Chains A and B, each alone.
Chain A
Amino acid sequence: MLLVTVVVNRLAMALITLAGVAVVVFVLLRVVPGDPISMMISPGASPSDILALKAHYGLDAPLLTQFWIWIKGVATGDFGTSITLHLYVTEVLASRLPATLELAVLALVVAIGFGGGIAIAGTLMRRTVGETAIDGLNSIMLAVPDFIWALALVLVFAVALPILPLTGRIDPDLAQGFHSRFYLIESILTGRFAVAGNIVQHMAMPTLALALPLAAVIVRLLKQSLKEAMLQDYVLLARIKGFGELRLVLQEALRNAIGPTLSLTGVQFTFLLGGTVIVERIFSYPGIGNLAIDAVINRDFPLIQGLVLLFGLIFILINIGVDLTVATLNPRLRHG
């Protein structure tokens, strides 16, 4: 019951936050230099031509009027029409978000699997050369940002050993017969495994580029937490009972050590989503990150506003999700 109250409160706060975000992004876009009309107006246009074009895109009205029209639309689910794409913003976001979600979630899974595995291995090998090697490797992973990983992966897996496709989400020849925009999930659920394999091939490099920095964070934190947990009395008791080292880590230490890692992973996941902007660009991956760059370059105000609100909403939902997960795992927090 307490959890339900917390969720309701958090969602109410989220609405207030989103309203603030809406105001900030609307004002910022009008304050920073560059507007869509100056980006497209022809050199030979007269002042009346420019005014007519502004009127076409609704940019001739006073700022407050523009804001009121936009926010009224947002309240009813109408985010306006993209200036560059000539499509409804909601429709564009709905068609691009699944690609980014699939990529981000896959990267998260890989990061947790890879990072968690290394952290456990490092804990098992503590005070050995193996641990030193893992720490060294992890320092490198931590220091290299996602876009550098992306370029390095391109050089290795697309140029030196051309075994992975470089751009896109799927081979154009295979991109048919989908009922949803969740290509990977749908192709697996419908048994189109060749198609799923092709999608995974396309996602491999961007996924790794996004996952490796997050995996490094997970390794560092989880390994430290595990080391501390391994010194606790309940682990000692289990050891006296004859538990093996692996069982000690997985069964006793991990459950108590994972809380801080989970919280931080949630926060880091939002950074990972931010990283999709550059990584999607490098790999021509058709998600909202790639879309965001074009929207900013073209000063597509309605689309930028929609994207910022969407990113804001996702970040808020992730934070709520993480809090709930941590509370579920840790009874003390549930009642605290």
Chain B
Amino acid sequence: MFNVTRRQALAGSGGVIASLLAPQRFASAAVGSTLNIAYNVNLPSFDPDVGPSSVNPTIQAIYRSIFDQYIGQKPNLGFEPGLITAWGWSDDKSKVWMDVRENVVWHDGTPFTPADVIWSIEREGKPDGGNPVSFIWAGIGNFKVDGKRITADVKQYDPVLFKWMAFLTGYILPKAYYEKVGPQGFEKAPIGTGPYMVDAYEGNAYLRLKANPKYWGGKPAFETVVFKFVPDATSRVAEIESGSSDVTLEVPYEEFDRLKSKAGLKGVVTPISDIAQIFITNGGVMDDKNVRLAMCHAVDKEAIVKRLLRGYGVPIATLEAPEYAAFDPSIKVAYDPALAVKLLAASGYSKEKPVKFTIQTTRGFKPKDYETVQAVVGMWRNVGIEADIEIYEIAKHFELRMSHKLAPAAFYNWGNAIGDPTTSTGFAMFSKSPHSAWHSDDLDAKIGPLWGEKDEKKRIDGWKAVDRYIAEQGYILPLLQYAQPVLYKSDLKVTPNVSGALQPTLISK
């Protein structure tokens, strides 16, 4: 029990007041070896393989700081050895092999072994284990270990398996430690093999990490990294402007332009693996190809990027961004309002007799999402398309999309940090995917065979052909590739990451 005398109370008041008047230390936030990051999302859970956080792309930068993935990923989306140093398929694709990195230790000092790899894949592959992409991991089994090499049988061939090992839920957790402390114990004291170790955590406030001196990739540049969870964009601007944080991201473009040239600050904007698109759901007027193509040709994407996003973004014609494996620059969908008018006229529509439908969008979920849709609707109106805007929450979007009940047009952003066409065009357009909006047999017939295509060149060429077909049919309206603004103190060096993950390991002095 606490006993407080009047004298103590008075002394306490004086002490508190004195400490309130003490000089602030904001100006020296970057001093020493501490990196303060004003981060745009909260970290709800430390388990990178289970639950909603595990598939949240924005949280991956934090997970990658604490844990290692099977396979690493470079800032340009290329792949590199992670805890698996070499990997591959047998010639007939019936087996996989993986070489496990040696001389790696967990944060508690115990050795990392092939058993951790096998246990992690099996845990991730359990259909009722809470992993949202368990079907990926369940595709291999019957593991065998020979020295540092693991082999496994392929139960369901997936050409993207190894890319997923650098993607969502592709993290290796410590078997022995996890089994000892259990899921809740792990949440309270997580350990990994990553460059940083968890030192302190306060949900919705901050996560403090300490450098892992035994990290296999060399000691990190900063002794301490503090992720401050600042979901409010105005507060992030204030954090970097006041000097309280050394780095921040995803600030409004107007604020980015204002602050990037301010003394002591620098800024970088990089196109990332996140694109804005308008889903088209089949049925009603959307079954008319002329209407769909008119929607696509009526939109001036360049103007949206230049005027609305202050030039930060890349107009796109397909669901493949330039950094993706199946990007084909020869596929173009021209801005041609005259053609749009002609197409609509062929179906009996005009400015006087417009085609009418609803378009759904979020507001404030992505930069200028609502404003972008407003601009698109304005451009459509000029050619004879009248769309009513309906605002919804992102949760509603997911549910409607899963039940194929989206409005005829629906704005959405689609991330694809491994840049493979299956995780962009494939999942967005194949009717069997719970998240596709356009369902048609002609498209399924083209996509279906590509899921199991074993020849990589044929596979990628196949997806390019699918993208071309989609563009010709107007089955979706891709708008632009988002660009991520990062502001940082000028004495730092920041390597932009196309995946959008602002990892402390990509920041140095």
Residues of A that sit less than 8 Å from B by CB:
33-36, 38-50, 52-53, 55-57, 83-88, 96, 151, 154-155, 158-159, 162-169, 172, 175-176, 188-191, 193-194, 196-198, 200-201, 280-287, 290-291, 294, 297-300
Contact = CB atoms under 8 A, between A and B. Distances in A.
A167 B16 contact: no
Given A162-B26, A165-B244, A168-B202, A53 B130 contact: yes
Contact of A56 (B11, B130, B398): B130
Interface string B35-62: 0001000101101001111110000000
B45 A85 contact: yes
Contacts of B401: 38
A86 B52 contact: no
Q: 7 nearest interchain CB pairs?
A: A197-B19, A193-B15, A34-B395, A43-B427, A52-B127, A33-B396, A43-B435
Nearest to B422: A44
Contacts of A49: 127, 134-135
B234 A83 contact: no
B203 interface: yes
Contact of A34 (B229, B398, B434): B398
Given A86-B45, A197-B19, A282-B232, A158 B427 contact: no
B241 interface: yes
Contacts of B433: 43-44
A281 B42 CA distance: 11
A266 to B, nearest CB: 27
Contact of B235 (A87, A88, A196, A282): A282
A49 B55 CA distance: 15
A186 to B, nearest CB: 8
A52 B128 contact: yes
A330 to B, nearest CB: 30
B393 A43 contact: no
A193 B19 contact: yes
A297 to B, nearest CB: 7
A159 B238 contact: yes
Given A34-B398, A193-B19, A284 B242 contact: no
Interface in B372-423: 392-396, 398-402, 422-423
23 contacts: A36-B52, A43-B427, A43-B436, A44-B426, A45-B133, A83-B52, A84-B52, A86-B50, A96-B204, A159-B242, A166-B235, A167-B38, A168-B205, A169-B202, A189-B4, A197-B20, A280-B204, A281-B231, A284-B231, A284-B232, A286-B204, A290-B204, A297-B395
Given A42-B55, A86-B187, A191-B12, A159 B432 contact: no
A200 B15 CA distance: 12
A190 B2 contact: yes
A158 B55 CA distance: 34
A40 to B, nearest CB: 4
Q: How large is the interface on B (under 10, 10 to 19, 20 to 34, 35 or more residues)?
A: 35 or more
B88 interface: no
B16 A193 contact: yes
A177 to B, nearest CB: 11
Given A41-B434, A193-B16, A284-B229, A165 B44 contact: no
B2 A96 contact: no
Nearest to B244: A166
B24 A163 contact: yes
A169 B205 contact: yes
Given A196-B15, A197-B19, 4 more contacts: A41-B398, A44-B426, A84-B45, A85-B45
B128 A56 contact: yes
B110 interface: no
Nearest to B237: A159
Contacts of A162: 24, 26-27, 242-244
Contact of B15 (A41, A53, A194, A201): A194
B136 interface: yes
A166 B128 contact: no
Interface string B1-41: 01010001001101111111010101100000000001000
B12 A196 contact: yes
Given A282-B234, A283-B235, A196 B204 contact: no
Contacts of B128: 52-53, 55-56
A208 B42 CA distance: 24
Contacts of A85: 44-45, 187, 203
B452 interface: no
A84 B503 CA distance: 22
